Structure 1
Amino acid sequence: MSAQVITLLSDYGLDNSSVGVIKGILLKSCPGATLIDLTHQVSPRDLMAARFELMTAYQNFPSATVHLSIVNPVTASGSRAVAFRTRDYFFVGPDNGLFDGVLDIEPAIEAVELRTPPVLNRVFRGRDIFAPAAAKLASSQTLSDVGQPIDPQSLVRFAMDLARRKQEIIHGQIQRVDHFGNLITNIPNEWVIEHPWEVRIAGRHFHFSIQTCDLKEGDGKLKAQVASHGFVQVVFEGDNCSRRLGVGEGQMITLHPLTNQYEFVRR
């Protein structure tokens, strides 16, 4: 069995004891576990941000890692508490679309609805439901130990279309605005390598050479890049691109191929 690794992702922030309490529960039940914080700075109730952070991080961990993720856009009791496994990983959290990005990459093989405490008043779901389940999974690697089977296909998906190509035009969407205001699309890097493009977004048209992520700050250039997280992003060097263009998450974007050639810069 792989080492017991549990990652944590939430919108709890770091100015209260919630994260510490969760870790305490995990270590009480699974004292040998290695606990890794992905982030607890997801904006409150921001499912799109949580989806992206988990999707782009989870495959960097050893096989059998348990990914505990807790972000709720509404009241905590409004979604099922679930756990599921893919080929190499386990996931625990609310069934509200948070795991949609993972499920875009690979299917859930098995899923359960977590058992809940008999007394629901004043339940802190992270402490009382999710953390105990994550700890038990890290120890046993058996989903039936933490809940009742459900259809993996019933897991909630997020209302985001996948990027698509139609007659050489790429249709995508802004799936994340990062800390710097960069616009991260859902268009895979490999779709745009070595082609010049016209990017159309929010009624604006820009000609871009898709470049590797190697910026010189402060020269005020708007451009698209292939980036290390695996997706094309639109940036405005030295400024917040989201504010500059008035564009946020969910905005549609299209890339149209241009006929002229350019020198593609490789790292």
Structure 2
Amino acid sequence: MATITLTTDFGTLYPASMKAVILDICEEATIVDISHTIPQGDILSGAFALYNTAHLFPKRTVHVAVVDPGVGTLRKALILEAGGHYFVGPDNGLMIPAAHRCGKMKVWIIQVDKLFPEISPTFHGRDVFAPVGAYLASGKKPEELAKPSDCYVCLHIEEARVKVESMRGKVNYVDDFGNIVTSIPARLLHNIVESGDILELEGNEIRFVETYANATPEETVALVGSHGFLEIAVSMGNAAERLSISGHPEICLRKVTSTRNDE
């Protein structure tokens, strides 16, 4: 049975049109919504959501991702293949981190004009990406729909500078709990920070803990989330609101005190 995932910033109405197109082409498809509440036009948040989820699906899953502020322009439409997964969406970096996480990547440019001579200039999610995803799920090969390419827009979600006294990165994502997911990967924190250390972010003291249960109510803490990145959270509260974080600003966490005996 074919599985197709959808990741968009379309909200509640427009994903239904995409699903209708998919099921008209591939009736046996199982459609899974990763998210339709990505902030409008927020490519980095969409990329992180897809990165955090796509690799968990079985091979042969088709991931249709549309956060596309360049819709109707000359930006390309892509098919990616990586680790047995297909990705379909705009050429704006949205799919790249997730595809790289799945495996070695191949790239094709969708022949939009040949496949779809009449499409809406504002809804390629319905008129291009949904049908291409359904064709792939039905067994068509990328070569039947697109031409090979080695040129694409890249996007990185691991951007960090970590020293003994500080950790710099940016905000990748703010989840529905208000947790702030940074671009600082856990692998860079080894021997730098441990449970109980006190960090500082713009005048706010933040204790590093292992899990949410180690925080006291309303305490601001830092920890490594299930996604493998450093995140900032407020126990029983909203870290993004408390720290006035929106978008993807750069942040710097400085170590104030340490639990290590040698410091």
What TM-score do you get using the length of structure 2 for normalisation?
A: 0.84
Name the structure 2 match of 1:252.
251
Q: Does 1:65 align with 2:61?
A: yes
1:207–1:44 CA distance, 2 compared to 1 (3 A): closer
Once the two structures are superposed, the pairs formed by residues 56-205 of structure 1 within 5 Å of their partners are 56-103=52-99, 105=101, 108-116=104-112, 117-120=116-119, 124-140=123-139, 142-151=141-150, 154-158=151-155, 162-166=159-163, 169-192=166-189, 195-196=194-195, 197-201=197-201, 203-204=202-203
Q: Deviations over 1:199-247 (max 9, x none)?
A: 343x335352322233667x22111122222222111223321221222
Shift of 1:112: 0.8
Return the alpha-carbon distance in structure 2 between the equivalents of residues 214 and 78 of structure 1.
Answer: 49
| 3-state SS of paired residue (2:73) | helix
Match of 2:16 among 5, 14, 20: 20
The two structures, once aligned, show a CA RMSD in angstroms of 2.7
Q: Which runs of 5+ in 2 are unaligned?
A: none
Answering whether residue 26 of structure 2 is matched by residue 30 of structure 1, we say yes
- Distance between the aligned counterparts of 1:9 and 1:174, measured in 2? 20
How far apart, in 1, do the equivalents of 2:158 and 2:258 lie? 28
Residue by residue over 1:2-28, the C-alpha shift from the partner in whole angstroms, topping out at 9 and shown as x without a partner, is x311101111111x2x21221121112
**Paired letter, 1:199:** L
Structure 1 pair 247/199, CA: closer, same or farther in 2 (3 Å)? farther
**Is the 8 Å Cα contact of residues 198 and 205 (structure 1) preserved in structure 2?**
no
SS of 1:229's equivalent in the other structure is coil
Kindly indicate whether residue 65 of structure 2 is the aligned counterpart of residue 46 of structure 1. no
- The 3 A distance-change label for structure 1 pair 46 and 119 is same
Change (3 A) 1:173 1:135: same
What's the CA shift for 1:190?
4.5
Q: 1:185 to 1:90 in 2, by over 3 A?
A: same
Cα distance per residue 1:144-175 (max 9 Å; x no partner)? 12211111xx2212365622434675432211
Q: Could you tell me how far apart the structure 2 residues matched to 1:51 and 1:171 are?
A: 20
Residue 101 of structure 2 aligns to which amino acid in structure 1?
I
Shift of 1:257: 8.4
Q: Secondary structure at the match of 2:213?
A: coil
Which stretch has the larger CA shift, 188-197 or 105-114?
188-197
Pick closer, same or farther for the CA change 1:216–1:121 going to 2, 3 Å.
closer
Please give the alpha-carbon distance, in whole angstroms, between the structure 2 residues aligned to 1:213 and 1:102: 26
For residues 138 and 168 of structure 1, do their structure 2 counterparts lie closer, same or farther at Cα, with a shift above 3 Å needed? farther
Looking at structure 2, the residues matched to 255 and 89 of structure 1 have their Cα atoms a distance apart, in angstroms, of: 39
Which TM-score applies when normalising by structure 1? 0.83
- Deviant stretches of 4+, over 6 Å: none
1:4 is aligned to 2:7: no
Shift of 1:71: 0.9
The match for 2:222 is: 224
What amino acid maps onto 1:54 in structure 2?
Answer: L
In 1, distance between residues paired with 2:221 and 2:146?
48
Q: Deviations over 1:13-47 (max 9, x none)?
A: 11x2x212211211121122111111112122121
Matches within 5 A, 1:205-244: 206-214=205-213, 219-244=217-242
Number of aligned residue pairs: 254
Q: Identity over aligned residues, as a percent?
A: 27
Q: How far, CA to CA, are the matches of 2:56 and 2:100 in structure 1? A: 17
In structure 2, what is the Cα distance between the partners aligned to 1:63 and 1:229?
20
State the one-letter code of the partner of 2:44: M
Residue 77 of structure 1 aligns to a residue in which SS? Answer: coil
Q: Which amino acid aligns with 1:69?
A: A
Q: Which runs of 5+ in 1 are unaligned?
A: 263-267
